[in-house]
Structure 1
C-alpha cells in the first residue's frame, strides 16, 4: 500500500531582525514535528545557518534550490536568495523588510501554484516591508490580492474564535466603513469558515456593537440601531444563527463568548485585546475566506526580545497544526459535499 504523502507546509521567514527565524527553528528542533508535515522555509542556507548557530539550536536542515527537491522527514530550506543579509536583532531596517517580502512573495507563489499545500507566515514589520511591490497594511490584504476569495482576519484558538468587521482601519474611520453589505459579507465568511474549515454544522455567531453599550438605544451613537441591528436581523432571517449587537465591555468578562462558536468584533482592538488576553501564546491568526490556507502566530516581531533566545514557539506550533487541521478539514468537506452523480458520469 502506497504511503500517504505528508502535507507540505510553506514557511515565510518574516522580519530577520525579529523572533521569526528563532521560533521556526525551535519548532523543528523537535524532530517529531517532521512526522506531521514536510516543511519548506523560504529563505537561504546562509540565513538559516547563521541563526541556527547564533541561538545554538540543534535543528538540521536540507538546503534545496527547487521546491521539487523537498524531502520528507527533513526541514527543507529553499534558497530564495544567495547572499547573507545583515541581521541587527531588535532593529527596524529596510534590509530586513526587503528580505521579509522576498520570502513572502516566493512562498505565496508556491502556495498559488500548489507546490506547497498551506502557508505559515512568521511575523513581519508592517512599516519596513513597505515598497513599490508591497503597499498593504499587512499579510491579510496582500494575500487577498494574490489569492482567490475575500479575506477575513480570523483569530482562532480551541476556546475562542474572533473575526473583525474592520481590521487595520483608524478608529476615527471605523463607523463609516461599517455598512450592511460589509456585515453580511463578514458574517457569511465566518459562517462558511466555521462549517468548512472547522466542521461546525450549525455555527452560532455573536456580533459586538460599535459604540459603548451597543449605543444604548441611540443615546451613544446611532450605528448599532440603524446599521448593525437591521443587518443582523436580515441575516438571521435567512437562516444563519447570528445574534447581537452585544455590548463589548462586558461580553468576554461574563463568559458570554462561550455560548457562541465565533464572535465578530467591530474593530481591531475591540476583538484582539480580549482574544490575546484569553488566548495569547496558543492563538492563531488565520486568513479565512481564501482558496488557500494561511496561518500565522498571534504575536508580532518581538523586537524587545529578539536575539536573546527567549522567544516562545508555542503560537507558531499552533499556527502550523491549525493550518494542517484546516487543510484536512477542507479536503473532507469537499469530498462530502461533492456531487456523486457528477463523479459517476465522468467515469462513464
Structure 2
C-alpha cells in the first residue's frame, strides 16, 4: 500500500459501533455525502444486512455502496462495505444486548487488524457500550485501552479535539475514588510528553503552548484544599519545562480556566480526570468534538459521544461529530506524512517556513535587477 503522505485520498476504515445504537445511522448519513469521496476512500466494517437495516430509516440518504470480502477489491470512487460477518443478527435499536456488543467488537477487531496490516490508512470508530463489550473476550473499558494493547504501545493519550480547543486527560475511565492515587509526577510527565509530541507530529505545532489543570477546587488554594498541586503537579511542570521545548503553565483552577476562555490561549490542555476535561470540552465544542488517541503508530479518531440508545433507529442522530472525526483523521494522516518528510529532509521544512514567513510579511523573494 502507498505511504499515506503520498496517497491523495487515504483509505479510512469506519467501525459500526453498537448495532443497536446510532453508529450505523451516523455512518450512513456521513458517507452518503459525496464530498467525502473527494477526500478519502471509506471502508465500513459491518455487514450489508446491518447496513440495509438502517438504510431504510435514513430516508433522505442517497447511499450507494459495494460489498467486498478482501482488500484487493477496494473501489476508490465508492463507499466500500467490508463484510465482517454473514450471520442473521437481530437488531433492536435502543436496546442493550450482548449480541449487539459481540458484533461491535468483531467490527472493531477486524478493522484494527486491517489497520495494523496496512490495508487502511486510518480508523474512525463509532460508539460502543462498555456494559455489553467488556468481558473475558474483550477485557477493556473502551477503545483507547484496547488500541493501546493491540498496538503494544507503552502509553497513549486520550485527546479531545475541536476547532477551538484540544483537551487531554491524565486519567480516563476510572472511578472518581481512584483518581487521586493516579495523579503522580511521573504520570504527568509521561502524558505531557505525549501531548507535546502529538502537537508537533499530528498538528504541526513546533513549540506548543500547554496548560495543566489542578486536581482540587481552586487548584488547591495554596494547599488549603488538598496538597497535590504543591507536592506533585507544580514539581512535574517545573521538571517538564527544564527538559522540554514547550511552554507549559499551570496548575490552573479548572472552573475559572474554561469560564474565562483561557483554553483559547493554549494549543492544548491537560486535565487531571475525565469529567474535568470532557464536560467543558463537550459544552464548548458545539457538537463537533473528536476523540483522538495520541501516541499510537496509527491514526484513530472517534465522535465525542456515546451510543445514544434513546434516539437510535429514529433518524434523529446528528452526524456532525462523525464528519469531524473523519476529517480530523484525514488531516492527521497528512500532517504525519509532512512531519516524516520534514524529518527526512530538514531543509525542506526550513524552506517551507521561510516561504510561509515571506507570505505573512509580504517579503519580495524575487532577486533585484
Question: Do they superpose with TM above 0.5?
Answer: yes
- Residues 5-64 of structure 1 show CA distances to partners (whole Å, capped at 9, x for unaligned) of 520001110001110000110012212211111111111111111211232232011001
How do 1:71-90 residues align onto structure 2 when only pairs under 5 Å count?
A: 71-90=75-94
Quick check: 1:65 aligned with 2:72? no
- Answering whether residue 358 of structure 2 is matched by residue 323 of structure 1, we say no
- Per the alignment, residue 225 of structure 1 pairs with 230
In structure 1, the residue matched to 2:284 is: 278
Please name the residue that 2:3 is paired with: none
Residue in structure 2 matched with residue 93 of structure 1 by the alignment: 97
Residue number in structure 1 paired with 2:136: 132
Instruction: Answer with 112-121 or 147-156: which moved more.
Output: 147-156
Give 5+ residue unaligned stretches, structure 1.
342-348
Residues 1-348 of structure 1 aligned to structure 2 (within 5 Å):
5-56=8-59, 57-149=61-153, 150-239=155-244, 240-338=246-344
**Partner deviation per Cα, 1:187-230 (whole Å, 9 max, x = no partner):** 00111101110001110100000011111111111111000001
Q: CA deviation at 1:313?
A: 0.5
Superposition TM-score, scaled by structure 1 size: 0.95
Query: What secondary structure does 1:62 align onto?
Result: strand
Kindly state the Cα deviation for residue 147 of structure 1 after the two structures are TM-superposed: 1.3
Query: Secondary structure at 2:131's aligned position in 1?
Result: coil
TM-score (norm 2): 0.90
Deviation at 1:85, TM superposition (A): 1.2
Q: Measure the CA separation in 2 of the matches of 1:274 and 1:5.
A: 36
Q: 1:304 Cα deviation (Å)? A: 1.0
1:59 and 1:304 mapped to 2: Cα distance? 24
The Cα of 1:131 is off from its aligned counterpart by 2.7
* Whole-Å separation in 2 of the counterparts to 1:159 and 1:103: 32
CA RMSD, 1 decimal: 1.4
Query: What's the secondary structure of 2:130's corresponding residue?
Result: coil
Moved more, 130-139 or 161-170: 130-139
Q: CA–CA distance in 2 between the matches of 1:171 and 1:193?
A: 27
SS class of match (1:213): helix
1:280-327 superposed Cα distances (whole Å, 9 cap, x missing partner): 411100000110000000111011111110101010000000000000
- Which deviates the most, 173-182 or 3-12? 3-12
Would you say the 8 A contact 2:57–2:315 is kept in 1?
no
Residue 101 of structure 1: how far off its partner (Å): 0.2
Whether the 8 Å CA contact 1:52–1:58 is kept in 2: the answer is no
The offset of 1:339, in angstroms, is 5.9
5+ unaligned residues in a row in structure 2: which ranges?
1-5, 348-369
Deviation of the 1:158 alpha carbon: 1.3
